[in-house]
Amino acid sequence: MSALTKLMISPHIHSGKSTSGIMGDVLIALLPATIAGTVIFGWRALLVIAVCIICSVGFEAIFNLIVKKEQTVGDLSAAVTGLLLALNLPVDVPLWQCAVGSLFAIIVVKCLFGGIGANLVNPAITARVFMLVAFGSMAVPSFPVDSVSSATPLSAEEMPGLLDLFLGRHGGAIGETCVAALLIGGIYLLVRRVISWQIPVVFLGTVFLFSLFMEGFDAVSALSLLMSGGVFIGAIFMATDYTTSPYTPWGKVIFGLGAGLLTCLIRYFGTYPEGVSFAILFMNILNPYICKWTKRKVFTAGGDKE
Amino acid sequence: MGSYLLGIHTPHRKGTKDSPVERLSDVKTVMIPMSMHIGKPATPVVKVGDMVKIGTKIGEADGKVSSDIYASISGKVTKLTDYLLATGKTTTAVIIEADGENAVDEAVAPPVISDRDSFIEAVKKSGIVGLGGAGFPTHVKLDVPTEKIEYLIVNGAECEPYVTSDSVNMLTRADDMAAALKALNKYLGVKKVIIGVEKGNKKVVSAMQSLASSLTELEVKVSVLPDKYPQGGEKVMVYHTTGRKIAANKLPIDVGCIVLNSTTVAQIGSFLKTGMPLTEKLVTVDGAAVTKPQNVIAPIGTPVNVLFDFCGGLKEDPAKIIYGGPMMGITVPNADVPVLKNTNAVLALSEKEAKLPKTTACIRCGACVNTCPFSLAPVNIAEAYSKEDTDELKALSVQSCMECGCCSFVCPANRPLVQINKLSKKLLADNAAKEGSK
């Protein structure tokens, strides 16, 4: 008799796509914003990024060791969380706060809920909101801090010009100011089919149209508001997080619309000058319901009832 | 017509497409199981010591949904043995040792057909079952009220990677297909035929187009399908060629269609011409472990290792041997298993080819949801299955799953999604059986 071979249920081939590949693509897509942030805000930006990434990856590794879970840092998702958190912080944030923020993102938001794929809300966004509440102004790029990271345009008296906004030559968090770099990353993710267009386009479109209306149809003002604050980094990189955003096409549209509306409502009527993080966090919580409401109709529907 | 259903781009790996077809002669021994079709196994009508010729009936259909089985070589029945099927059931297999005569049974003669009933009876006698892989007895499929048949759809989609046997049959047996279509027109009143072929399969598209224009007595259209997997699924095929949706628990005939695989059609044609029942099969022999992959015509019952030897032997110990393509094919335990009626390919995958990534946690990316041709939600089905929530499984229509495997193929965490769908269907079937016996 010939040698025995493996018995297995089909399929016997795989696309080759992997979680680490996807996360690697997100890291690549964030590279332009990382470089732009370093050029605009100086070498300390790299220090903040390094601390956040090392802490995020380290905390996840330690957590897995303690609870004796299989090591998951190889999937690169902790590195993505660390990088995203850093890019959402002002350049002069104390490094110990970076460590605490990473701890919150990785341990509280991600690992305690079951690790990758099981968290209800986006770790980086939630950590940013946590730092805003816990450390007050220090973590909030939207308030005047010092000469290096001055106020974001949303709270400044004078708006920078559109070109400066596009290139990121103004105050704000390390990775959020350079719209050009974020767009390059977004296009990369679209081309690589890591994300789909619905969430970013609807999110950005909603913010633009709402601002246009509120600014009395002044397109320049509306564009300025769209390009300031964290709308681009939020719409492209944070709101598109797989685990905490809908996977149905219409769900993505609703998610983008809701996040855009909430961002504007907070900006115009809330007490905080910036609302992107809160808006995404709120939509994260609605995500399971949005998925449920927007289920695709099964092709074979309408058959005999059993 | 609506848009095309979702699906995936698989690698093609159809290297055997243009290689010459060779016939495997002087096979020493064949092992022919009595169950190579959906339905009841055939009853063996030979005993040890009987001499048989090519085309001698060795298995008699047991009831309507069953199929006759014929000897594929001439020689002596040496053994009736138990044979373990891929389904886990055991059936009888007839082992024939060749006498080297290659004699054809005297009873083999073109069938005499006068009307619909004698045509269906002839198809039954031919031993033909769905040759695309499912193996559903063809005479049962055709035995429907003729006024219900609006379209005959010839399934020429060969979306599984590696497999090229249907394409080769369409290129080389167009005249057999024409004979079958004429007979289907004459006796079953089929007026409209649609032949579905993938766009990228250009040679076959043009071969089928010339077949279509050569048939004047009936309307034949070639429908060019997208180069995506799975086009060959019956419900996908009917939707893409006619725009008609087949609901769960319904059959193509419920929307006026009969779907026949292209090789099945060719086989009907050659039977009508010669009377030779289904005794041999064109099989794609491929996979990185095979030295010289090619298409081979082999007697049914030929051990797979004889096919491999014919193709230059195996370069390395295969990690997996598969009946059919890699997306839906069935692994077999070793190379002693025989070529069956519905075997269209035998693959010997190398260790490297068969390597699958490690399964990791679901990241809820939705790739499974956004590739399922039937818009099912494998991610939610897996959750419901883990809780054994049968109500939720029903609500998620898991019974509709055609098990194409797109979800598992695209999953970046390589989660066993289609596998869980199959288990879920089994769970619901077992539960229904329990309810029934109460």
Chain-chain contact of B321 with A1 (C-beta, under 8 angstroms): no
Residue B393: helix, strand or coil by DSSP?
helix
pLDDT at B134 over 90: no
Among B338, B368, B40, residue whose Cα is nearest residue A17:
B368
CATH architecture of A19-293: Orthogonal Bundle (1.10)
pLDDT digits (tens, 9 = 90+) for B234-275: 999 999 999 999 998 899 999 999 999 999 999 999 999 999
The ipTM (two decimal places) reads 0.91
Mean pLDDT over B111-137 rounds to: 93
pLDDT at B436 over 90: no
pLDDT at B318 over 90: yes
Phi, psi of A49 (to 5 degrees): -60, -45
* Mean predicted lDDT score pLDDT of chain B: 94
Q: How far is CA B39 from CA B64, B98, B266, B404, in A?
A: 9, 29, 23, 22
pLDDT at B325 over 70: yes
Domain residue ranges in chain A: 19-293
Dihedral sign computed on CA atoms, order A186, A188, A191, A192: negative
Angle of CA points A89, A92, A96, to nearest 5°: 80
Q: What is the CATH number of domain B116-274?
A: 3.40.50.11540
Task: Give the C-alpha separation, A178 to A160, whole Å.
Answer: 13
Q: Point out the least confidently predicted range of B16-25, B288-297, B306-315.
A: B16-25
- The answer, for B248 touching chain A at a CB cutoff of 8 Å, is yes
pLDDT at B438 over 90: no
Which residue in the set B239, B321, B410 is minimally distant from A5, CB to CB? B321
Please give the interface size between A and B, counted as residue pairs whose CB atoms are below 8 Å apart: 167
% of chain B residues with pLDDT over 70: 99
Task: Give the C-alpha separation, B329 to A255, whole Å.
Answer: 40
pLDDT at A178 (0 to 100): 95
Chain-chain contact of A299 with B5 (C-beta, under 8 angstroms): yes
Q: Do B150 and B242 contact (CB within 8 A), yes or no?
A: no
pLDDT at A243 over 70: yes
Mean pLDDT over B330-358 rounds to: 93
Higher pLDDT, B50 or A141: B50
pLDDT at B343 (0 to 100): 95
pLDDT at B25 (0 to 100): 85
pLDDT at A148 over 50: no
A146 pLDDT tier (thresholds 50, 70, 90): very low
The tally of CA atoms less than 13 A away on the side-chain side of residue B416 is 11
Which residue in the set B349, B353, B369 is minimally distant from A247, CB to CB? B369
> And the tokens for B436?
């029934």
Edge-to-edge order in the sheet of strand B151-155: B219-225, B192-198, B151-155, B257-261
Mean pLDDT over B323-345 rounds to: 94
pLDDT at B118 (0 to 100): 96
Task: Give the C-alpha separation, B393 to B186, whole Å.
Answer: 45
Which residue in the set A3, A19, A299 is minimally distant from B373, CB to CB? A299
Chain-chain contact of B375 with A302 (C-beta, under 8 angstroms): no
Residue B296: helix, strand or coil by DSSP?
strand
pLDDT at B435 over 80: yes
A136 pLDDT tier (thresholds 50, 70, 90): confident
B1 pLDDT tier (thresholds 50, 70, 90): very low
- The answer, for B200 touching chain A at a CB cutoff of 8 Å, is no
pLDDT at A257 over 50: yes
Mean pLDDT over A179-202 rounds to: 97
Q: Do B278 and B70 contact (CB within 8 A), yes or no?
A: yes
Mean pLDDT over A103-112 rounds to: 96
pLDDT at A142 (0 to 100): 40
pLDDT digits (tens, 9 = 90+) for A84-97: 999 999 999 999 99
> And the tokens for B118?
């004698």
A157 pLDDT tier (thresholds 50, 70, 90): low
Domain residue ranges in chain B: 116-274, 378-437
Residue B82, strand partner residues: B92
Task: Give the C-alpha separation, A240 to A29, whole Å.
Answer: 13
Q: Do A85 and A101 contact (CB within 8 A), yes or no?
A: yes
